[in-house]
Amino acid sequence: MTHIEPEDHVPEVREPAGYRHPDADIARELRERLADDVGLDSRGIEVEVKNGEVTLSGPVRHCADMKRAEAHACAIQGVVLVRNGLQPQEPEPAPKPEQPDGAASKMGKPGYER
């Protein structure tokens, strides 16, 4: 006889057909997640939920905060669409130019091709 761990029998959550999460519950959970994210300054983020569609608006520090807030919204049960209207206040840093790999580039010498 094999012993089955309790975590092997975690029931899957399934709502009845046609069940929709209340908009107020979605908004409350999203606001809590945004507030709990220590790397995200969510003070300027406004959350609106209508028929499971989340609209985010307001100022954020930078594009990374926009993406984090959107990811939180997408992860909530009952959300069917996320509209991200957040406005970054700081421009995203320009990407650094790529340098070829190899000893020559690491030593500050010109690269060469064979």
What does the alpha-carbon distance between residue 78 and residue 20 come to, in Å, rounded to a whole number?
Answer: 6
pLDDT digits (tens, 9 = 90+) for 38-78: 999 899 999 999 999 999 999 999 999 999 999 999 999 99
Tokens 């959550």 correspond to 13
| Mean pLDDT, residues 25-37 taken together | 97
**pLDDT in the model for residue 90:** 81
What does the alpha-carbon distance between residue 54 and residue 41 come to, in Å, rounded to a whole number?
Answer: 19
Handedness of CA 65, 72, 36, 49 (dihedral sign): positive
Global pTM value: 0.67
What does the alpha-carbon distance between residue 70 and residue 65 come to, in Å, rounded to a whole number?
Answer: 8
Domains of the chain, CATH where assigned: 19-88 (3.30.1340.30)
pLDDT digits (tens, 9 = 90+) for 79-107: 999 999 999 998 666 666 665 555 555 55
Judge contact between 23 and 51, C-beta under 8 A: yes
What does the alpha-carbon distance between residue 27 and residue 70 come to, in Å, rounded to a whole number?
Answer: 13
Q: At what angle do helices 63-74 and 23-36 cross, to 10 degrees?
A: 140
Query: Using 50, 70 and 90 to split pLDDT, how confident is the model at 20?
Result: confident
Query: Using 50, 70 and 90 to split pLDDT, how confident is the model at 16?
Result: confident
